[in-house]
């Protein structure tokens, strides 16, 4: 009897260990990727001159492409440094973060761009989340005021790109900038920021999405009448194709909309976008998308690691809002993406890739710009996805 009980005990322990191993089998690659990220960004920071922001790296010419604070990606660099410190529980980048934020803060008054969410919330928003200083809050509020200056009541949207004629251009990416407005509304108690975000999201649902819940990249409204003039792409394969990063932006944006409003309309929209992506016949088994879901030359078309990273991060929030079965599906898909993106195929060797972490991003294929290179936002959203995965696994 004792031998039988002992055998049962051993089997139970083995099953438990096996279960934990299955559940947490990404712990090691994620830990390794965080450590690699610290190493890479320590190298990257040394290559940057004062007040430069990394955009991408061209391996063939060993050129690190940078920008100043006005570029739409400027917030991802300090945001990534903040996430890396959070991920390894140190303050290795603290001084650098403070120096970069001190330069970036000038953009709080920039009214020429719709990307202040990317620029200021990914940077100062994360800084405030971990250390709620009044100066950070003031910068974020000024940024939100600058962002809503681009809102047009007749159109019902925040303008993305300026035009010289009567065009009012809105891109799906703009959904990502609304999180700043929700923060501003909650912090200030002023509902106008909330209302503008909701209006923009509703107009986008009405005009950006097709019947299958894929989205156009660009909608061109008539600024005088508010009517839609064109539905097209800039960075995708064709006007009627599904540009991969754009689909990820939409999924992430409507997940945030539901979190902020608890309006089921936005949850339904996010789920419908997720289902379009995950059930797409051209989505590879490892869940890292081709640069466009309708790209030519499959299966030899380039993947876009940044689209995969954004997708993983979005799914790891969306899974907390849906039923148990769907949650498991979304968690599993995100886990597959992270497993792929933390593999040797996608993670740079130490001291390579210009100091960036993630390889194989695609920026703007039609313009032959940033093709199969690291992208600053790819790193940011991969690290965010890994942080979200860790937190969910810890709760299991």
Would you please indicate which residues are annotated as catalytic (active-site) residues? Answer: 115, 173
CA distances from 125 to 43, 102, 141, 177, 276 (A): 25, 14, 11, 12, 30
HSE of 164, CA atoms in CB hemisphere, 13 A: 0
Residue 168 CA from chain centroid, whole number: 25
CA distances from 140 to 73, 191, 381 (A): 17, 16, 21
* Paired strand residues for 54: 66
Instruction: Report the C-alpha gap between 291 and 363 in whole angstroms.
Output: 9
Instruction: Report the C-alpha gap between 122 and 127 in whole angstroms.
Output: 9
Instruction: Report the C-alpha gap between 58 and 72 in whole angstroms.
Output: 19
Q: Which helix (H) or strand (E) holds 372?
A: strand 369-373
CA distances from 90 to 32, 35, 102, 124 (A): 15, 11, 21, 19
Instruction: Report the C-alpha gap between 266 and 210 in whole angstroms.
Output: 16
Cβ-based neighbour number of residue 291 at 10 Å: 26
Instruction: Report the C-alpha gap between 129 and 135 in whole angstroms.
Output: 13
Instruction: Report the C-alpha gap between 284 and 299 in whole angstroms.
Output: 9
- Dump strand ranges (E) for 153-312: 157-158, 167-171, 218-222, 228-232
Instruction: Report the C-alpha gap between 335 and 358 in whole angstroms.
Output: 17
Which backbone phi and psi does 356 adopt, to 5 degrees? Answer: -75, 160
Instruction: Report the C-alpha gap between 25 and 243 in whole angstroms.
Output: 31
Q: Would strands 361-364 and 157-158 be described as parallel, antiparallel, or unpaired?
A: unpaired
Omega within 30 of 0 (cis) for the link into 299: yes
Q: Which residues contact 148 (CB under 8 A, 6 or more apart)?
A: 158, 181, 192, 193, 196
């Amino acid at each position: 009897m004792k031998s039988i009980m002992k055998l049962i005990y051993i089997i139970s322990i083995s099953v438990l260990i096996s279960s934990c191993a299955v559940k947490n089998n990404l712990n090691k690659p994620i830990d390794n990727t965080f450590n690699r990220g610290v190493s890479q960004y320590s190298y990257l920071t040394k290559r940057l001159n004062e007040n430069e922001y990394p955009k991408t790296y061209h391996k063939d010419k060993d050129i690190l492409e940078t920008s100043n604070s006005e570029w739409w990606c400027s917030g991802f660099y300090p945001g990534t440094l903040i996430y890396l410190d959070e991920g390894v529980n140190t303050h290795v980048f603290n001084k650098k973060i403070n120096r970069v934020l001190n330069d970036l803060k000038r953009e709080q008054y920039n009214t020429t761009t719709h990307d202040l969410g990317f620029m200021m919330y990914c940077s100062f928003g994360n800084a405030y989340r971990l250390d709620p200083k009044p100066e950070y809050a003031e910068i974020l509020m000024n940024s939100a005021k600058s962002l809503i200056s681009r809102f047009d009541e007749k159109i019902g949207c925040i303008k993305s790109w300026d035009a010289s004629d009567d065009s009012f251009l809105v891109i799906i990416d703009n959904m990502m900038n609304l999180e700043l407005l929700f923060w501003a509304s909650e912090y200030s108690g002023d509902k106008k920021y909330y209302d503008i975000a909701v209006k923009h999201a509703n107009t986008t649902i009405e005009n950006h999405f097709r019947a299958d819940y894929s989205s156009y990249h660009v909608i061109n409204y008539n600024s005088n009448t508010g009517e839609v003039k064109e539905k097209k792409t800039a960075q995708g394969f064709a006007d009627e194709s599904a540009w991969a990063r754009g689909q990820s932006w939409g999924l992430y944006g409507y997940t945030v909309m539901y979190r902020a409003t608890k309006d089921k309309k936005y949850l339904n929209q996010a789920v419908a976008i997720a289902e379009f992506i995950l059930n797409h016949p051209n989505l590879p088994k490892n869940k890292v998308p081709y640069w466009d879901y309708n790209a030519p030359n499959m299966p030899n078309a380039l993947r876009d690691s940044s689209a995969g990273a954004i997708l993983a991060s979005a799914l790891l929030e969306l899974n907390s809002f849906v039923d148990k079965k769907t949650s498991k599906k979304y968690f599993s898909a995100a886990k597959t993406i992270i497993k792929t993106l933390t593999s040797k195929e996608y993670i740079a060797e130490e001291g390579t890739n210009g100091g960036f972490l993630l390889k194989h991003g695609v920026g703007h294929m039609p313009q032959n710009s940033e093709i199969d290179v690291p992208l600053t936002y790819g790193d940011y959203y991969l690290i965010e996805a890994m942080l979200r995965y860790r937190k969910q696994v810890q709760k299991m």
